Amino acid sequence: MSFTAKIWDTEFPGVIYNSSGPRCTTLEELSSLWDSTSSAIMMKSCSPEPREGNPLPRYSEVELGSINSIGLANHGYKKYIEYAAELKKQFPNKPIVVSIVGFSHEDFIMLVTAFQNEENVDVLEVNLSCPNVVGKPQIAYDFEWSDELIAKLFAIPGDKPIGFKLPPYFDPIHTEMMAEVLRKYPVSFITCINSVGNTLIIDPETEQPLIAPKWWLGGLGWDYVKPIALANVRSFYKLLGDKVTIIWCGGIKSWVDVFEHLLAGASMVQLGTVLGKEGTDCFERIEKEFYTYMDKKWYTDIKQVIWKLQEL
């Protein structure tokens, strides 16, 4: 069976790895991803300076998923450069993906420059879609601002593949507008989707919301967002084809979810909420289920599934 993946020249031993979010902030957490069957080590979204993030409580699990308003808590990009060097020293054969977030064009330019010059990082995912920073909009909802920023990032010297983590789009015209921007540049991949932002969950027993930041509003994940993620994957593949690798993030907890998103056009998937809930054992469980089903269907190559959704 051929269930490997590639982002430009970077080889991934499988199609499933972690999203930037749960269990990828510290060196210990990142090292545990090597010990798992995750196909890469994705690091926490890092900013120019360390951030404590939003006040507690800022994360809660519920039956159908999770709600969070972490607020981009991270150790700062210099620490993740150190982590990348240590990880490559210990685990040279697994790709390291850095997630980058800034609050101005200058922030993003500085971070991309730093990681383009960092030999221990293989792939750059630029986060344009965090919904949980008070007073800061999601960049990828402003198409002109995104266009200007992406142009500047691709003017930076370096040969590492760059992709963008996008928010959920709810209107086809918005997906089309972002695709029009992306087509202008040598974008390696997009990750669809970040959590569905600014949602509210109430505990009827306590008569209180589940999280404190942003007037109790947070990003929704898991079962709640799967149909939205599916729609975004399908829409972007229809608009971009196979020129841009699509990585699906949002609502994965079993082989069924992986299979459906490959049918919709994704080439790889990231695990978020399920990783937070189950720990790194979730990679092996979901991969085994998925490979067993692929064998049952007589599929021997992942390309036999991607964008093969049957029309009615």
- The answer as to whether 311 is a domain residue is no
Banded pLDDT at 298 (limits 50, 70, 90): very high
For the cut 70, the answer to whether the pLDDT of residue 218 exceeds it is yes
- The answer as to whether 309 is a domain residue is no
- Number of structural domains (the chain) is 1
- The answer as to whether 35 is a domain residue is yes
Banded pLDDT at 240 (limits 50, 70, 90): very high
Q: Write the CATH number for 70.
A: 3.20.20.70
Give pLDDT, residue 4.
87
Task: Report which of 121, 105, 192 is spatially closest to residue 153, judged by C-alpha positions.
Answer: 105
Supply the residues annotated as catalytic: 129-130
Banded pLDDT at 63 (limits 50, 70, 90): confident
- The answer as to whether 49 is a domain residue is yes
Cα of 252 vs its chain's centroid, Å: 12
Q: What digits encode the pLDDT tens for the residues 178-199?
A: 999 999 999 999 999 999 999 9
Give pLDDT, residue 92.
83
- The answer as to whether 14 is a domain residue is yes
Give pLDDT, residue 2.
64
For the cut 90, the answer to whether the pLDDT of residue 91 exceeds it is no
Q: Kindly write down the DSSP assignment for every residue of 220-262, as one continuous string.
A: EEETTTHHHHHHHHHHHHHHHGGGSEEEEESS--SHHHHHHHH
Q: What digits encode the pLDDT tens for the residues 106-159?
A: 999 999 999 999 999 999 999 999 888 877 889 999 999 999 999 999 999 999
CB 261 within 8 A of CB 248: yes
The tokens of 96 are what? 């390291």
According to DSSP, residue 127 is labeled: E
For the cut 80, the answer to whether the pLDDT of residue 297 exceeds it is yes
For the cut 60, the answer to whether the pLDDT of residue 54 exceeds it is yes
CB 67 within 8 A of CB 211: yes
For the cut 60, the answer to whether the pLDDT of residue 1 exceeds it is no
Query: Domain range holding 71?
Result: 5-304
Report pTM.
0.96
